[in-house]
Amino acid sequence: MPRCEGLPSGPCPLKKNDSLVVIGKGDLMLCKSCDTERRRLFDCPVASKDESKQELVVRPAGLSLSAGKEQAPPSASAASLPDVPASTNDPADHATIEINELLSYVSFYRSRASVDCLRKVVASFYTPSEISAAKKVLLSMPGFNQSLIDCPLRAERRKSANRVVHEVEIDDIIGIMGVLDRKSLLSQVIFAAVNHERLPKYGPEELNICTIADRQVVLSNSVTSTVQSIVELRDSVSSVASIAQAIDEMRGTVQEVQCIVGELNTSVQGALAASASGSGSGRHDPVVAYPADTAKPSQLIQSVDRSRNVVLFGIPENGPSDGSWRDTVAEVLKMATGRTVGIQDAFRLGKQMTAEKRRPVLVKLQSVWDRRAVFAGSWKLSTADEMKDIFISPDLPLEARRRKTMDRLLKSFTHKGKDVSLVDGVLSVDGCVMYTLENGAVSRNHDD
């Protein structure tokens, strides 16, 4: 249900919120009581009881030009300023203040700007209803009616094929002010603005073509300076990008070295754990098969650059000598990035056992940025029916791959209810070593 918007001084005293609330005075949703009070405040002007003693009268406009709604006057009817000494002869001391934003703007700039510029500003900023209401307020001012009886500008305008009504009324307002000024009557009224939102934020002469040209020159110089600064910033950003790429490559190398060192540490700990378990047990435990010859530390620490590598799973096998799978790899990368990606090298991992088993493909790209773009758009493969079974994974070091495998086995055997233990990178199931970070899967020799 509609709610009553109340009186100018506050909310509805009766707090009406029912079907009796209708559109009332000033296009507001009002109950009958509030509508009657608003009409009494706005439509019934109260004459001053002692007008001869008042030297400055504030006369609120009967129709506010703010958003087409009427507003309450500052007081019940009029407010007067304190008396001034009788010796002052300034006509403004006895002037009536009329609150109207449009008339205030026109009266101020009437002698400070050209009529054409003033007409353009008023016509573009104020609505036709505001312009018509301002003309009616100007004609209804006390003392102006008798002076404008023979003035043709006070006639009510109607639609014509030549000009719009509100544009003619703007000329009438400017002309009427000129007539009143020549008869020394305009100084008896001071037009004031209360709602500053209904005042244009610029003067009419700011529409002058010379002013616009000067500002355009200043703006052009500012744009040129800004473009030069952007070019300098772009050059610095390109150098920063190259430095960032070098740092990424260096970070990848450091990570590889850390992984190799971790593998060495895990290998030593696994060997120590295996020897300790073999010497402390009287029975024959499963034997862990380790490589006969271990690579030299210099060979293990040698860095392998994987910063540009990706691994593709699910690429169909096309036979031992058929290389058409490379076209599939290129299409997958293009689907992920939305553009053609340069491939430095691509090859299958492992030996082909059966046609149904699809070996992964290791792809070495030409830049780290291409690798990032591939991973960022890898989700797009699920949207294509022919690529929904293809997955993209990073080329992880050996230790990282073995850790993922060990985690998967740990979860699997634990879910099956097995007795699982993981100590120093050695995974044992029911007392038997199944997997180590050093050698991966362990082959067991059963003694009869």
Full domain range(s) for residue 29:
1-39
**Judgement on whether residues 325 and 197 belong to the same structural domain of the protein:** no
Six-digit token pair at 187?
Answer: 């100084």
How confident is the model at residue 408, as a pLDDT?
A: 87
DSSP-derived pairing of the beta strands 57-59 and 29-30: unpaired
One domain for residues 114 and 82: yes
- Let me know the angle formed at the C-alpha of 47 by 46 and 52, rounded to the nearest 5 degrees: 150
Do 20 and 63 fall into the same domain?
no
Q: Which of 174, 168, 183, 197 is nearest to 107 (CA)?
A: 174
Residues 82 and 1 in one domain: no
93 and 179, same domain (yes or no): yes
CA atoms of 445 and 433, how far apart (whole Å): 11
What's the token pair of residue 44? Answer: 């019934």
Same domain? For 195 and 71 the reply is yes
Comparing CA positions, the residue from 76, 64, 82 lying closest to residue 28 is 64
Report the C-alpha gap between 181 and 184 in whole angstroms.
5
Are 10 and 86 in the same domain? no
Query: How many whole angstroms separate alpha carbon 196 and alpha carbon 106?
Result: 14
CATH number for the domain spanning 344: value is: 3.30.70.330
* Same-domain status, 6 and 137: no
**pLDDT 10s digits, 36-77:** 888 887 765 544 444 444 444 455 544 443 334 444 444 433
pLDDT surpasses 50 at 280: no
Rounded to an integer, what is the distance from CA 89 to the centroid of its chain? 60
Domain boundary among 207, 224, 246: 207
Last residue of a domain, one of 207, 226, 250: 207
**pLDDT for position 63:** 42
pLDDT higher than 50, residue 242? yes
State whether 381 and 324 are in the same domain.
Answer: yes
Would residue 276 count as lying in a domain?
Answer: no
> Per the structure block, which two tokens stand in for 446?
């059963």
Q: Sorting pLDDT into bands at 50, 70 and 90, what band is 379?
A: very high
Alpha carbon distance 149, 51 (integer Å):
25
Q: What is the Cα–Cα distance from 245 to 55, expressed in whole angstroms?
A: 81
| Whether residue 333 has pLDDT greater than 90 | yes
The answer as to whether 318 is a domain residue is: yes
pLDDT attached to residue 276: 54
Specify the number of domains making up the chain.
Answer: 3
- Among 191, 207, 223, the domain-final residue is 207
Q: Supply the pLDDT for residue 202.
A: 77
Q: What is the pLDDT of residue 18?
A: 81
pLDDT tens-digit profile of 293-307? 444 443 444 467 888
Asked whether 370 and 340 are in contact (CB, 8 A), the reply is no
The answer to whether residues 176 and 127 belong to one domain is yes
* Residue 424 structure tokens: 């120093």
Same domain, 146 and 30: no
Tell me the one-letter amino acid at 288. V
pLDDT at 321: 56
